[in-house]
Structure 1
Amino acid sequence: MNTTNKYLQFDDPTILTFEFNVNEQFDFDNDFDDVDISTLVEMPDELEINWQEPIPVYLSVFINPDNSDAPYKINMKILAFFKVDSAVPEGEAYQILQTDAASILLSYLRPMASMMVTASGFPPMTIPMLDFSDDDDD
Structure 2
Amino acid sequence: MNTPNKYLQFEDPTVLKFDFQVNDDFDFDTPEDDTDISTLVEIPDKLDIDFEDDIPVYLTIFINYDGDNAPYKITARIMTLFQISNLLSHDDALQILQNEGASILASYLRPTISMMTASSGFPAMTLPTLDFSDSEND
Q: Confirm or deny a common fold (TM above 0.5).
A: yes
| CA distance in structure 1 between the partners assigned to 2:83 and 2:43 by the alignment | 13
2:41 aligned residue = 41
SS of alignment partner, residue 108 of structure 1: helix
SS for the counterpart of 2:39 is strand
Q: Structure 1 124/16 Cα, relative in aligned 2: closer, same or farther at 3 Å?
A: same
Give the structure 2 partner of residue 30 of structure 1.
Answer: 30
SS in structure 2 at match of 1:81: strand
> 5 Å matches for 1:31-110?
31-110=31-110
Gaps of 5+ in 1: none
Q: How many residues align?
A: 136
CA RMSD across the alignment: 1.2
Corresponding position of 1:132: 132
Contact 2:15/2:78 (<8 A) preserved: yes
Whole-angstrom CA distance in 2 between matches of 1:83 and 1:38: 26
Q: Which amino acid aligns with 1:46?
A: K
Distance 1:102 1:135, change over 3 A: closer
Q: Residue 118 of structure 1 corresponds to which residue in structure 2?
A: 118
Aligned equivalents of 1:127 and 1:25: distance in 2? Answer: 24
When structure 1 is superposed on structure 2, of 103-112 and 20-29 the one drifting more is 20-29
Change (3 A) 1:135 1:101: closer
Measure the CA separation in 2 of the matches of 1:135 and 1:119: 32
User: Which one-letter code corresponds to 2:106 in the other structure?
Assistant: L
Partner of 2:20: 20
The residue type equivalent to 2:60 in the other structure is S
Deviation at 1:134, TM superposition (A): 2.1
The separation in 2 between residues aligned to 1:49 and 1:31, in whole angstroms, is 45
Larger mean CA deviation between 124-133 and 70-79 belongs to 124-133
> What SS does the aligned partner of 1:103 have?
helix
Q: Among all aligned residue pairs of Structure 1 and Structure 2, give the percentage whose two residues are the same amino acid.
A: 58
